Amino acid sequence: MKKIFVMVACAAAFAFVSCGGNKNAAPAQDVEVVDSAALVEEAIAAPVAEFTSKIEEALKSENAEAVKETIQSVKDYIAQLISEGKNEEAKAYAAKIQEFVDNSKEAIDKVAGAAAVTDLVSTVESVPTSIDEAVKAAGDAVVDGAKDAVNNVKEGVENAANDAVDAAKEKVVDKANEQVNKGKEAANKAIDDAAAKAKKGLGL
C-alpha cells in the first residue's frame, strides 16, 4: 500500500513540475524564411521583360541595328551585375536570355545575321567564366592590399627605428659637445686663476 502511495505522489509531483515548466516557457515565435531564389527572380524580372520587349520589337520591324544595340545592352547589364557582386542575378538573367535565344535563334539570324546570334550566345555562356575571373580579381586585390599594408607597416617601423637612432646620435653628440665646453671653461678658469695667483705673488 505504501509503495502505491509513493508512486502516486511521484507522478503527481512530475505532473506539477511539467505544468509549472509550461508556464515559464517562452512563447513560440514565427520565423520568416527568405527564399533567395525568389528574390533573384524578382530582381531580374524587369530587366528580362525590358530585353524581351526591345528585341521582339526590333525583330518585328526587322531592325538589325536595334537588335545589335539590344544585345550590347545585355552584355553591359551582365557586366554591371558581376561588377556589383550580384553573381546569382547574373546567372539567372543569362539563363533567361539563353532561353529566349533558343526559341528565337532563327529570327535573330534572319534580321541581324549569324554573328549577332553567336555574340549573344557567347555572352550568356561566358557568364560563369566572367564571374570566376571577377572573384579571382577581387581575391587578388585583397591579397595585394594586405601585402601593401604589411609593407607600409614594415616601412613605418624601419623609419621609426631610424629616427630613434638619429635622435640617439644627436643626444650623444650634444652631450659630448657639452662636456667639451665644460672642459674648455674649466681650463680657461684654471689658467685665469693661475695667472691671477702669479700676479699676486709678484705683487702686481
Q: What does the pLDDT read at residue 5?
A: 44
The position carrying cell 581575391 is 139
Single-letter amino acid, residue 139: G
Whether the pLDDT of residue 39 is over 90: the answer is yes
The pLDDT of residue 80 is: 95
Cα–Cα distance measured from residue 31 to residue 79, given in angstroms and rounded to the nearest whole number: 36
d(CA 94, CA 87): 11
Q: Are 36 and 88 in contact (CB under 8 A)?
A: yes
Q: Is the C-alpha dihedral spanning 34, 38, 40, 46 positive or negative?
A: negative
Q: What stretches of 25-126 show up as alpha helix (H) in DSSP?
A: 36-60, 64-83, 87-112, 114-125
In this predicted structure, the answer to whether residue 180 has a pLDDT above a threshold of 90 is no
User: Whole-model pTM?
Assistant: 0.49
Average of per-residue pLDDT values in the chain: 78
pLDDT at 68 over 80: yes
Average pLDDT in the 190-200 region?
A: 72
Q: For the segment 77-125, what is each residue's pLDDT rounded down to a tens digit?
A: 999 999 999 999 999 999 999 999 899 989 999 998 989 989 988 888 8
CA–CA separation, 134 and 83 (whole Å): 7
